[in-house]
Amino acid sequence: MKVILTEKVKALGTIGEIVNVSAGFARNFLFPKRLAILADEKNSNVLKDKQKGLAKKIQAEKVTAETLKAKLDGMTVELIKKVGANGRLFGAVTSLDIVKELEKHGVSLERRILQFDGSIKSLGTYDVKAKLFSDVTAEFKLKVSIDAAMAEELKRQQAEAQRRNAEKKAKAEAAKAAAAAEAEAAANGTEE
Protein backbone atom coordinates (compact mmCIF):
# COMPACT_ATOMS: atom_id res chain seq x y z
CA MET A 1 0.00 0.00 0.00
CA LYS A 2 1.38 3.40 -0.97
CA VAL A 3 1.08 6.19 1.56
CA ILE A 4 2.20 9.82 1.76
CA LEU A 5 4.01 10.64 5.00
CA THR A 6 2.79 13.71 6.84
CA GLU A 7 5.43 13.43 9.60
CA LYS A 8 8.94 12.02 9.82
CA VAL A 9 8.72 8.32 10.66
CA LYS A 10 11.72 6.35 11.96
CA ALA A 11 13.10 3.84 9.47
CA LEU A 12 10.53 4.86 6.86
CA GLY A 13 11.07 8.38 5.56
CA THR A 14 10.50 12.08 5.94
CA ILE A 15 7.60 14.45 5.34
CA GLY A 16 6.01 14.39 1.89
CA GLU A 17 7.62 11.11 0.76
CA ILE A 18 5.52 8.49 -0.94
CA VAL A 19 6.47 5.09 0.52
CA ASN A 20 5.24 1.56 0.13
CA VAL A 21 4.19 -0.10 3.42
CA SER A 22 2.12 -3.12 4.39
CA ALA A 23 -1.61 -2.56 4.67
CA GLY A 24 -1.68 -3.52 8.36
CA PHE A 25 1.12 -1.10 9.27
CA ALA A 26 -0.72 1.70 7.50
CA ARG A 27 -4.14 0.90 9.00
CA ASN A 28 -3.00 0.13 12.54
CA PHE A 29 -0.14 2.57 13.06
CA LEU A 30 0.31 5.29 10.46
CA PHE A 31 -3.30 6.33 9.81
CA PRO A 32 -4.52 6.41 13.48
CA LYS A 33 -1.54 8.51 14.54
CA ARG A 34 -1.98 10.77 11.49
CA LEU A 35 1.58 10.06 10.35
CA ALA A 36 0.48 9.28 6.79
CA ILE A 37 -2.39 9.47 4.34
CA LEU A 38 -3.33 7.12 1.52
CA ALA A 39 -1.48 7.93 -1.72
CA ASP A 40 -4.40 8.16 -4.12
CA GLU A 41 -5.35 10.75 -6.74
CA LYS A 42 -7.32 12.96 -4.33
CA ASN A 43 -4.66 12.96 -1.59
CA SER A 44 -1.90 13.59 -4.13
CA ASN A 45 -3.73 16.77 -5.22
CA VAL A 46 -4.26 17.76 -1.57
CA LEU A 47 -0.55 17.12 -0.96
CA LYS A 48 0.34 19.47 -3.80
CA ASP A 49 -1.82 22.13 -2.13
CA LYS A 50 -0.18 21.49 1.24
CA GLN A 51 3.29 21.49 -0.28
CA LYS A 52 4.04 24.97 1.07
CA GLY A 53 3.19 23.93 4.62
CA LEU A 54 5.22 20.77 4.22
CA ALA A 55 8.09 22.79 2.76
CA LYS A 56 8.15 24.84 5.96
CA LYS A 57 8.25 21.64 8.06
CA ILE A 58 10.99 20.21 5.87
CA GLN A 59 12.95 23.46 6.10
CA ALA A 60 12.62 23.45 9.90
CA GLU A 61 13.94 19.87 10.04
CA LYS A 62 16.78 20.82 7.73
CA VAL A 63 17.73 23.77 9.95
CA THR A 64 17.70 21.45 12.98
CA ALA A 65 19.95 19.04 11.07
CA GLU A 66 22.32 21.89 10.14
CA THR A 67 22.67 22.98 13.78
CA LEU A 68 23.32 19.37 14.80
CA LYS A 69 25.91 19.12 12.03
CA ALA A 70 27.67 22.21 13.38
CA LYS A 71 27.87 20.53 16.81
CA LEU A 72 29.12 17.21 15.45
CA ASP A 73 31.63 18.31 12.79
CA GLY A 74 35.16 18.02 14.08
CA MET A 75 34.04 16.55 17.41
CA THR A 76 36.11 13.70 18.85
CA VAL A 77 34.19 11.22 20.96
CA GLU A 78 36.24 8.99 23.25
CA LEU A 79 34.87 5.55 24.04
CA ILE A 80 36.57 3.56 26.78
CA LYS A 81 36.34 -0.21 26.36
CA LYS A 82 37.80 -3.34 27.91
CA VAL A 83 40.57 -5.01 25.93
CA GLY A 84 42.01 -8.52 25.90
CA ALA A 85 45.68 -9.42 26.23
CA ASN A 86 46.17 -9.32 22.46
CA GLY A 87 44.98 -5.68 22.21
CA ARG A 88 41.59 -6.51 20.69
CA LEU A 89 38.27 -5.44 22.19
CA PHE A 90 35.88 -7.77 23.96
CA GLY A 91 33.15 -7.61 21.30
CA ALA A 92 32.83 -4.77 18.83
CA VAL A 93 31.83 -1.13 19.14
CA THR A 94 28.27 -0.75 17.88
CA SER A 95 26.32 2.26 16.71
CA LEU A 96 24.31 2.00 19.94
CA ASP A 97 27.52 2.45 21.99
CA ILE A 98 28.37 5.53 19.94
CA VAL A 99 24.86 7.00 20.36
CA LYS A 100 25.02 6.51 24.15
CA GLU A 101 28.40 8.25 24.28
CA LEU A 102 27.08 11.12 22.12
CA GLU A 103 24.14 11.56 24.50
CA LYS A 104 26.67 12.17 27.29
CA HIS A 105 27.96 15.08 25.16
CA GLY A 106 24.43 16.47 24.71
CA VAL A 107 23.83 15.18 21.16
CA SER A 108 20.82 12.95 20.54
CA LEU A 109 20.81 10.82 17.37
CA GLU A 110 19.15 7.71 16.02
CA ARG A 111 21.62 4.86 15.75
CA ARG A 112 20.55 3.93 12.23
CA ILE A 113 21.89 7.17 10.75
CA LEU A 114 25.47 6.44 11.84
CA GLN A 115 27.84 5.01 9.25
CA PHE A 116 31.39 3.73 9.67
CA ASP A 117 33.66 1.44 7.68
CA GLY A 118 33.59 -2.20 8.73
CA SER A 119 33.32 -3.17 12.35
CA ILE A 120 35.30 -1.57 15.15
CA LYS A 121 37.09 -4.37 17.03
CA SER A 122 40.38 -2.78 18.03
CA LEU A 123 41.77 0.34 19.68
CA GLY A 124 42.32 3.43 17.55
CA THR A 125 40.65 6.41 15.93
CA TYR A 126 37.83 5.95 13.42
CA ASP A 127 35.86 8.28 11.14
CA VAL A 128 32.10 8.18 11.69
CA LYS A 129 29.47 9.80 9.47
CA ALA A 130 25.96 10.74 10.53
CA LYS A 131 23.40 11.29 7.76
CA LEU A 132 21.19 13.84 9.50
CA PHE A 133 19.01 14.82 6.53
CA SER A 134 18.84 13.94 2.84
CA ASP A 135 21.76 16.25 1.97
CA VAL A 136 23.21 17.02 5.43
CA THR A 137 25.99 14.71 6.64
CA ALA A 138 28.16 15.34 9.70
CA GLU A 139 31.55 13.72 10.26
CA PHE A 140 33.27 13.19 13.58
CA LYS A 141 36.04 11.08 15.05
CA LEU A 142 35.58 8.15 17.40
CA LYS A 143 38.57 7.33 19.58
CA VAL A 144 38.40 3.87 21.11
CA SER A 145 40.75 3.66 24.08
CA ILE A 146 41.50 1.25 26.86
CA ASP A 147 40.27 1.57 30.43
CA ALA A 148 43.10 3.03 32.60
CA ALA A 149 42.89 0.28 35.24
CA MET A 150 42.94 -2.36 32.54
CA ALA A 151 45.96 -0.71 30.89
CA GLU A 152 47.87 -0.96 34.18
CA GLU A 153 46.83 -4.59 34.54
CA LEU A 154 48.03 -5.39 31.00
CA LYS A 155 51.37 -3.67 31.66
CA ARG A 156 51.77 -5.66 34.86
CA GLN A 157 50.94 -8.91 33.06
CA GLN A 158 53.42 -8.13 30.26
CA ALA A 159 56.16 -7.31 32.79
CA GLU A 160 55.43 -10.57 34.64
CA ALA A 161 55.58 -12.52 31.37
CA GLN A 162 58.90 -10.90 30.45
CA ARG A 163 60.29 -11.71 33.92
CA ARG A 164 59.19 -15.35 33.58
CA ASN A 165 60.78 -15.58 30.12
CA ALA A 166 64.02 -14.11 31.47
CA GLU A 167 64.00 -16.67 34.33
CA LYS A 168 63.38 -19.52 31.86
CA LYS A 169 66.26 -18.31 29.70
CA ALA A 170 68.55 -18.02 32.72
CA LYS A 171 67.61 -21.56 33.88
CA ALA A 172 68.13 -22.93 30.38
CA GLU A 173 71.53 -21.21 30.12
CA ALA A 174 72.53 -22.50 33.57
CA ALA A 175 71.43 -26.04 32.67
CA LYS A 176 73.31 -25.82 29.39
CA ALA A 177 76.44 -24.54 31.15
CA ALA A 178 76.14 -27.30 33.80
CA ALA A 179 75.74 -29.95 31.09
CA ALA A 180 78.74 -28.58 29.23
CA ALA A 181 80.84 -28.55 32.45
CA GLU A 182 79.69 -32.09 33.26
CA ALA A 183 80.56 -33.28 29.77
CA GLU A 184 83.98 -31.58 30.00
CA ALA A 185 84.61 -33.16 33.43
CA ALA A 186 83.59 -36.56 32.07
CA ALA A 187 85.90 -36.03 29.09
CA ASN A 188 88.77 -35.00 31.41
CA GLY A 189 88.07 -37.99 33.71
CA THR A 190 88.27 -40.49 30.84
CA GLU A 191 91.53 -39.03 29.59
CA GLU A 192 93.39 -39.68 32.83
Domains with residue ranges and CATH for the chain: 2-49 (3.40.5.10), 72-149 (3.10.430.100)
Whole-number pLDDT of residue 23: 93
CA 45 to CA 38: how far, in whole Å?
12
Average the pLDDT over 49-55 and give the result: 74
What DSSP state is assigned to residue 112?
A: G
Residue 19 near residue 12, CB atoms below 8 Å: yes
Whole-number pLDDT of residue 22: 94
Whole-number pLDDT of residue 189: 67
In 3-state terms, what secondary structure has residue 22? coil
Whole-number pLDDT of residue 192: 52
In terms of pLDDT, which residue wins out, 173 or 151? 173
What lies within 8 Å, CB to CB, of 116 at 6+ separation is 95, 126, 127, 128, 129, 142
Determine what percent of the chain is predicted with pLDDT higher than 90: 10
